[in-house]
Amino acid sequence: MDPAGMADAVLDAQRTTAALARDLARRGREPQVTWARQGHLAELDRRIAWTAAHRHLAG
């Protein structure tokens, strides 16, 4: 896989994971409710933003 493709794959996985965690939290599922309350989902957003901003480091 080329570096740009790798960065895209990582971003896709991060976004999918964050969306799933948010959906589970909205539906009242643990531990995602606790993660949301403790700010961990916001941390996922920061990590996604970092990956997007630094995708050039993949190659």
Query: pTM for the whole thing?
Result: 0.88
Question: What is the DSSP code (8-state) at residue 39?
Answer: T
User: pLDDT below 50 — which residues of the chain?
Assistant: none
pLDDT of residue 32: 97
Angle 21-50-44 (CA atoms, 0-180°, nearest 5)? 15
Q: Are the C-beta atoms of residues 13 and 50 closer than 8 Å to each other? A: no
pLDDT of residue 3: 84
pLDDT of residue 41: 95
